[in-house]
Amino acid sequence: MKIKNIIRWLPNWLVFSIIITTIISSFDGVVLAQVLSSIANFNHNSTFLEVMFYAVKSFSAMAIVYFSMTLRKMLINLAIKKLNVKLKSNFIYGQINTSTFSSDTADNVSKIFNDFKLVETDYFSLMFEVFASLLMALISGIYILSLSIPIGILFILFSLLPMITPKIFGKKLTATSSKWQEDSSRFLSKVTDLFNGANTIKTYLAEKYMYNDTDKYLNESENSYLLMNNWQAVTFFVASILSVVSYILPIGIGLLLVIQRKISSAALIGIFMASDRVVGPLGTVSEYLSKIKTTQEIRKSYSEHMIEFKAPKKISKDIKPKICFENVYFTYSNGKQIINNLNLNITFGEKILITGASGVGKSTILNLIQGSIKPSSGKIYLREKNSKINNILESGRIAYIRQNPNLFNDTLRFNLTLGEDFSTKDCLFVLEKVGLINELGNDALNRYYGESGKNLSGGQRQRIEIARALLFNKKIILIDEATSSLDPKMSDKINKIIQNLDCTVIEVAHYYDDIEFKHAHFTHYVLENKTLRLKAL
């Protein structure tokens, strides 16, 4: 993420407006120096009209400068808003629409609310300020040189002293910033675990130990933040001392020249006043560049994506995809092999039950079929008449029903449609099909049921997931222990709905009823010895 990205992300009119208002604002030092140094030109012979003209001219010039400063600030606020939207929306898109999707929720939330906030305050904002400070220093420097070239050169040369601080402290600032980001992310993850596991902690009377453990991570995070800020303070102190040196010495030399009548006192006052707008901004640039360094690692990790979504294709009711495994192997990065040379065809409409020992990899089979993970070698694809679909994940053919369905903190309608344009009639039809109309009512579509559907029962959440799959006309439904946490009556109700679906169903179960699945005409496979073995029900 570089300056050229910032410029490219913003409208041309906004960039142009910021440049113009920054140029006018940069005359702040020149106008103020001219206003104050002009006082030395007045004496007992000056007239009231001259004084009034001086006052009106001075007020007008300062008003224009300060109006430009205000307008510039508002334009920059708008620019930062646009940059924040671009940065965060791009990151969110990258997480939900690319193969490098990260399921670490705590880490992703930390990036949006912590890391990207640091980018806003210590990169976006400061880049505008660095530009403004350099421009102010340049304009004020030219003004100083116009008054006295020797003194002006001295001021300009000495004003470069504060610029060496980023070179001295840059690596340390980057290192302490990276350490804080790592510790902050670990603390956020720890707090998330703590709150999610509150019931377990209370059950085992582990409040003291878990509090102490979390407190340790809190202190590590805050100590890293303290260290980062302290190094920034040290950098600021060194830059400040260098700034003082950079204008005290030239002023001393200027006074000697006034004594020798080689420069007027009015010119020296003008140079002195304008020098604050050379040394000060350059010192500020030094401080800002040090802060910008602290965002280097975050900016390196950022990847820009072209945000574009494929138009969803309507799935014809006549489509009957077959799932094909060809010489499929799958091994996790830790070396654990799950599948060894699996060849299998699942025709449309089949009902498949997959069982096996805990940890053998049953859920991995479903993830391979969905396409969220890829085989180590071999192919898994869909066959539809004469066509072959290799990218199953983006085909729109598959629904995945988990033990804990994901529901959004929005209306029931949104949870069914996910923002797509489905009619009320269609939504009510699928709710009726899974038996939710009688329980939730005809007006349920526009109701909110809380974060993750907390105001619904487990069985209702499962059936909303099934209704969503029906609404989207999914041809293949993957089910992972969907009814294991439900009571027998609700479990039986959902199983009957699933068994009557006009699609392919592949269900993973640890506990199951042989008779029930046999009556529903399920084909039973056992995952053992790194393959799926057919077993009679």
Q: How confident is the model at residue 100 (pLDDT cuts 50, 70, 90)?
A: very low
Tell the residue number behind the tokens 């102490």, with chain if given: 212
* pLDDT value at residue 103: 57
Which residues, including other chains, have CB under 8 Å from residue 430's CB and lie 6 or more apart?
A: 416, 467, 468, 470, 471
Which sign, positive or negative, has the C-alpha torsion 481, 487, 492, 497? negative
The tokens describing 468, both together, are 């969503």
Q: What is the pLDDT of residues 22-53, one digit of tens each?
A: 999 999 888 988 888 888 778 888 899 989 99
Cα-Cα-Cα-Cα torsion 194, 197, 201, 207, nearest 10 degrees, comes to 20
pLDDT of residue 219 exceeding 90? yes
Read out DSSP for 442-487? Answer: TTGGG-B--GGGTTS-HHHHHHHHHHHHHHTT-SEEEEESTTTTS-
Tell the residue number behind the tokens 């830790």, with chain if given: 334
Q: 506, 352 in Cβ contact below 8 A?
A: yes
DSSP label of 35: H
* pLDDT value at residue 75: 96
pLDDT of residue 343 exceeding 90? yes
pLDDT of residue 20 exceeding 90? yes
The tokens describing 402, both together, are 């988990």
* pLDDT value at residue 306: 58
Q: Return the ∠ at Cα 313 (arms to 309 and 314), rounded to 5°.
A: 145
Q: Tell if the pTM clears 0.75, that is, is over it.
A: no
Q: What is the pLDDT of residues 110-144, one digit of tens each?
A: 777 788 888 888 888 999 999 999 999 889 888 88
* pLDDT value at residue 344: 92
Q: What is the pLDDT of residues 330-339, one digit of tens each?
A: 998 888 999 9
Q: What is the pLDDT of residues 180-211, one digit of tens each?
A: 989 998 898 888 888 888 877 786 777 888 88
pLDDT of residue 428 exceeding 80? yes
Across 8-12, 324-328, 395-399, 461-465, the highest mean pLDDT is recorded for 324-328
Counting residues of the chain whose pLDDT is more than 90, the rounded percentage is 26
* pLDDT value at residue 101: 47
pLDDT of residue 154 exceeding 50? yes
- Nearest CA to 504 out of 343, 350, 335, 323 is that of 350
pLDDT of residue 307 exceeding 70? no
379 DSSP β-pair partners: 326
Return the number of other C-beta atoms located less than 10 Å from residue 375's C-beta: 18
